[in-house]
Amino acid sequence: MICIIIFYFRYKSLTPLVNLCWTTKSDLNIEEFLKDHGSVALKRYTFSEVKKMTNSFKVKLGQGGFGAVYKGKLPTGCPVAVKLLNVSKRNGEEFINEVASISRTSHVNIVTLQGFCLEGRRKALIYEFMANGSLDKLIYNSGPESIASLSWENLYQISIGIARGLEYLHRGCNTRILHFDIKPHNILLDENFCPKISDFGLAKLCPRKESIISLSDTRGTMGYVAPEMCNRHFGGVSHKSDVYSYGMMLLEMVGGRKNINAEASHTSEIYFPYLVYRRLEEDNNVRPDQVMTIEENEIVRRMTIVGLWCIQTFPNDRPTMSGVVEMLEGNINSLEMPPKPLFSSPARSVSCSFSGI
């Protein structure tokens, strides 16, 4: 009995030291990473400063897979969005992914990282504030936050902006950046509805000369994940995996709904790509529920055809993001109807785990 009591108190006294050593080692690894990648030029804030700029995390803007986002204000009065990372075993990896990716970028369609906080397990990222929030709140036809006044021209320009941002990540940086979580929730819009790609928690850096990469886990959000991410028989994981996610998002922008509707009674209605392909093939009218001008119908047709090319089952059948930009901006008469993709059944069970849900 005495031995048990002694062991209990010794173990209890050592536990904080063990935790402290683990945290310190993790922090040192991140500090070393920041120095190696030249990211120390970013403004570093203490947690008390972060708490002050968010007014003790008073206004919550949203919730992502890696943490909550709060509205804040810098001492200069400049509005910012502060992402407070969840306390988890992977939050160090998420922090590094975000800083490593965004600190390498400078593009009008990529969100700007203005600073960070790193105090042990308390980690925060400070971004530029985007007045119109995320794209998902604007494109779906349900909910009080949907905006019916978002014109087809707005959607078209947003689709081009996102494509240019992804093209930059794939080709414009010294090191290719694969995002792996492109979806409406991760596209932010400024006061002029200029889109910016955000949330690089699952991003992967790879040399530009390497086209196929190796991943130890499946990354992304169900509904936007390319087939090769779950089954390598479809092909290797590459920048074409981002193209697939972009294409699925493009179809959601056209349809004003999620690509999968579990409440629908027919398969073609459950999985939107089935429906949109059939409508485009039969009567060239993807949105029969709306009265559109000739110009608007052309925009919808263009975005739909490009989206269907992007979600081709095999990576080699998909265009690059440079090709996507060309198709979106080129002559619509030169756009060919894509082959009918070998769509995966929406009812199938997915045997892989998803890191970004």
The answer to whether residue 357 is domain-embedded is no
CA atoms of 312 and 309, how far apart (whole Å)? 6
Beta bridge partners of 40: none
Q: Residue 211 is part of a domain; what is its CATH number? A: 1.10.510.10
Task: Give backbone dihedrals phi and psi of 20, rounded to 5 degrees, phi first.
Answer: -65, -40
Same domain for 149 and 124: no
Residue 22 in any domain: the answer is no
- Give the whole-angstrom CA distance, residue 202 versus residue 245: 14
Structural domain that includes position 51: 37-128
| Domain shared by 85 and 152, yes or no | no
Retrieve residue 54's tokens: 């968010």
Cβ atoms of 180 and 101 closer than 8 Å: no
How far is CA 275 from each of CA 67, 78, 155, 283, rounded to the nearest angstrom?
35, 45, 20, 12
pLDDT of res. 345: 44
Catalytic residues: 181
Write down which residue in 77, 102, 128 finishes a domain: 128
Closest of 310, 296, 254, 309 to residue 279, by C-alpha: 254
Q: Are strands 60-63 and 175-178 parallel, antiparallel or unpaired?
A: unpaired
| 223 is a domain residue | yes
* Shared domain check, 198 and 56: no
Domain co-membership, 97 together with 197: no
The token pair that represents 121 in the structure block:
């397990």
| Cross-strand partners of 189 | 195
CA distance 150 to 156: 10
Q: Do residues 119 and 172 share a domain?
A: no
Closest by CA to 38, choosing from 93, 95, 92, 104, is 104
Handedness of CA 231, 234, 240, 245 (dihedral sign): negative
Q: What pLDDT was estimated at residue 142?
A: 53
- The CATH number for 114's domain is 3.30.200.20
Q: Which helix (H) or strand (E) holds 127?
A: strand 122-128
User: What is the tally of structural domains in the chain?
Assistant: 2
**The one-letter amino acid at 288:** P
| Torsion sign across C-alpha atoms 243, 246, 252, 254 | negative
Give me the pLDDT at residue 326, please.
Answer: 97
Rg of the chain over all Cα atoms, to the nearest angstrom: 22
Q: 109 and 169, same structural domain?
A: no
Does residue 151 sit within a domain? yes
3-state secondary structure of 110: strand
Nearest alpha carbon to residue 111 among 96, 121, 97, 101: 101
DSSP 338: P
Q: pLDDT per position in the chain (357 positions), as tens?
A: 665 555 444 544 433 333 333 344 556 666 676 666 555 568 899 999 999 999 999 999 988 777 899 999 999 999 999 999 987 656 577 788 888 888 778 899 999 999 999 888 899 999 999 999 999 988 875 544 444 568 999 999 999 999 999 999 999 887 899 999 999 999 999 999 999 999 998 898 887 666 788 776 778 888 899 999 888 888 889 999 999 999 999 999 998 877 666 555 555 555 778 888 888 887 777 787 788 899 999 999 999 999 999 999 999 999 999 999 999 999 988 999 998 877 544 444 344 545 555
DSSP per residue, 149-203: T--HHHHHHHHHHHHHHHHIIIIISSEEEE-S--SGGGEEE-TT--EEE---TT-
Is there a single domain that holds both residue 145 and residue 118?
no
Contact (Cβ atoms closer than 8 angstroms) between residue 192 and residue 132: no
Q: Nearest CA to 165 among 173, 174, 175, 155?
A: 173
Assigned domain for 6 exists: no
For residues 44 and 171, membership in a common domain is answered with no
Q: What angle do CA 32, 34, 35 make, to 5 degrees?
A: 65
Structural domain ending residue among the three candidates 106, 128, 150: 128
CA–CA distance, 27 with 13 (Å, rounded to integer): 22
Q: Say whether both 166 and 299 belong to one domain.
A: yes
